[in-house]
Amino acid sequence: MIDIDLLLSWGAAFKKISAGDTIFREGQSCFFYHQLVSGTVRWGNIDEEGKECIHAMVEPGESFGEFPLFDDAPFAASAIANEDCVVIRLHKSTFIELLQDNSDIHFAFSKLLSKRLRFKFSIIKSFASHCPEKRIATILNHLKSENKNFCGNYFQLNLTRQQIADMTGLRVETVIRTMRHMHTKGELVIKKGKVYCRNMIEVTMA
């Protein structure tokens, strides 16, 4: 996260987004750096039939849609508010100047993008196994390692079964069935419909 006061000092502004509204669409030109202040945003692709492939569930403090800031190409995915949100935006050209004046932030972004690329490799690797449990375990382990989408001392998962399905390319029925099996094995705890995952899940690639 870039310090909000620093962003404001460079001319950034807050923007309120209503639940369900699209912040930017895949294929559109990029004019701003986006950082979430409050609420949650899903970042992904939507096919012709309206099916979503979620790449990330963005939480407060995280940036999203950064690729066009560096390669001048259009947005590779769309960002949609899950709930009422506040986003802080800084114009693209000013953002580049900010990076040039703050090498530590520039380095942090290089590290961030590298981590996201590494995660995508792990997801593709899990897809190759055609094993739903490995896909789900890979996602959950990544989120836990990043301290994302879990809350409380009991590590409650803050994602719906549908969102897990959209992140793994599985049908929601498959996710429900697989997570029940993972509960039986002791890898997850499902209680009153809530999912808890305290420990990392062993992922073996057969």
- Please state the pTM of the whole predicted model: 0.81
**pLDDT at res. 130:** 80
Residue 187 near residue 201, CB atoms below 8 Å: yes
- Taking 50 as the pLDDT cut, the residues of the chain under it are 206
How far is Cα 37 from Cα 87, in angstroms, rounded to an integer? 5
Domains and their CATH numbers in the chain: 4-101 (2.60.120.10), 125-196 (1.10.10.10)
**pLDDT at res. 73:** 96
CA-based nearest residue to 92, from 12, 6, 3, 9: 12
How far is Cα 105 from Cα 37, in angstroms, rounded to an integer? 18
Place of tokens 């808890």: 196
Q: Could you write out the DSSP letters of every residue in 4-48?
A: HHHHHHTT-EEEEE-TT-EEE-TTPPP-EEEEEEES-EEEEEE-T
Place of tokens 């690729």: 67
**pLDDT at res. 198:** 82
**pLDDT at res. 45:** 93
